[in-house]
Amino acid sequence: MRILVLGRSGQVARELARLSGAGHEIRLMGRDAADLSRPEAAAEALRGVLLDFPAQAIINAAAWTGVDAAETQEAEALAVNGAAPAMLARIAAEAGLPFVHISTDYVFDGAGETPFAPDAPAAPLGAYGRTKREGEIGVAQVGNPAGWVVLRTSWVFSAHGANFVKTMLRLGAEREALRVVADQIGGPTPADAIARACMTIAEALAADPSKSGIHHFSGAPDASWADFAREIMAQADLPCRIEDIPSAEYPTPAPRPLNSRLDCQSTTTVFGLSRPDWRESLARVLTNPGARA
C-alpha cells in the first residue's frame, strides 16, 4: 500500500518510515515540504505531492506537541493541531483517500478512574488539549466518504525524540533518586505500535470506509508515571530510586489529566488491534543505542 505521511522527525513518523518495504511504500512530508503552521499552504503542497505520488491513504503524524508552550502560544498550536488536520482531511476526501489522524488523551479532563470511551464527552484542561480537540472536530466534520479515523493515544515513547523514557534514562544515570508523579494514570504507548496500528487502520478503511470514527489505542497495563519510571530503571539496570509524589508537588504551566486511561475496545473489535504491552516494548527500545543518546 502506498501511504503519504505528514510528519518526518516525530516519533510516530519515524516509525512509519521504517515500515516502508514488504508491500508498503511510505512517502514522508516534513515541515520543509508541508508547514502545518500555514494550513492552506500545506494543503496546496499536499495536492501537489499527490499528483506525483499515487497514494492510497494519508496518515497525519505531524502535530504541535509542546503541551506547556501551547499555554502561551495557543494560536500557533491551533493552526497546526486544529486548522491543518481539517484541511488535510478535506484534501484526502477530494482525492478519494482514507485519512488517519493521531490525537491524544488530553482532550479529556481526567476525572474519575474509569477508562474514557471514544464517545465520552471531551473537556480538555489546557490549550494543547483544546487545539487537538478542534482538529478532531474538523476531521470528523469533513465526513470523508473514503474513510477517516481519529486515533487517540497516550504517553508515546521510543528510542528517539523527546520522551519520558529518554528523560528518565538520562536523569537516572546522573542521580541517586528522582521524585515522579504517581497520581496520573495512563497507558504508555510505543511509537512503533502506533505506526503499525495506523497502517492497519488505513488498510481497513480502504477496504471498508464504514469503519470510520474515533478510536483509542494505548499501551497496557495502565500505570502511573512513577510506575513507568521504576520499570525503566529496573530494565535499564539503573540504581536510581523513584519516590512517589502528587501532581501538586510538580506544577507545570499546563494542567495534566489525572486519569488518562483509554477504553480501547472498539479498536480491538473493529480493527483487530490489541493493546501492546509497554513493558515488552520498553525492553526493545532499551536495546537501541539511540535510547541513551
The domain limits of the chain are: 2-156+190-219+261-276
Whether residue 272 is predicted with pLDDT greater than 80 in this model: the reply is yes
pLDDT band at 94 (very low <50, low <70, confident <90, very high): very high
Which whole number is the average pLDDT over 53-59? 97
Rg value, the chain, Cα: 18
Across the chain, mean pLDDT equals 96
- Cβ(85)–Cβ(135) under 8 Å? yes
Fold of 2-156+190-219+261-276: Rossmann fold (3.40.50)
Cell triple for 249: 508537588
Q: What percent of the chain has pLDDT over 70?
A: 100
Whether residue 6 is predicted with pLDDT greater than 90 in this model: the reply is yes
Whether residue 230 is predicted with pLDDT greater than 90 in this model: the reply is yes
Please state the pTM of the whole predicted model.
0.96
pLDDT band at 289 (very low <50, low <70, confident <90, very high): confident
List residues with catalytic annotation: 128
Whether residue 271 is predicted with pLDDT greater than 90 in this model: the reply is yes
- Cβ(216)–Cβ(263) under 8 Å? yes
Q: Give residue 273's pLDDT.
A: 98
pLDDT tens track for 177-195? 999 999 999 999 999 999 9
pLDDT tens track for 80-90? 999 999 999 99
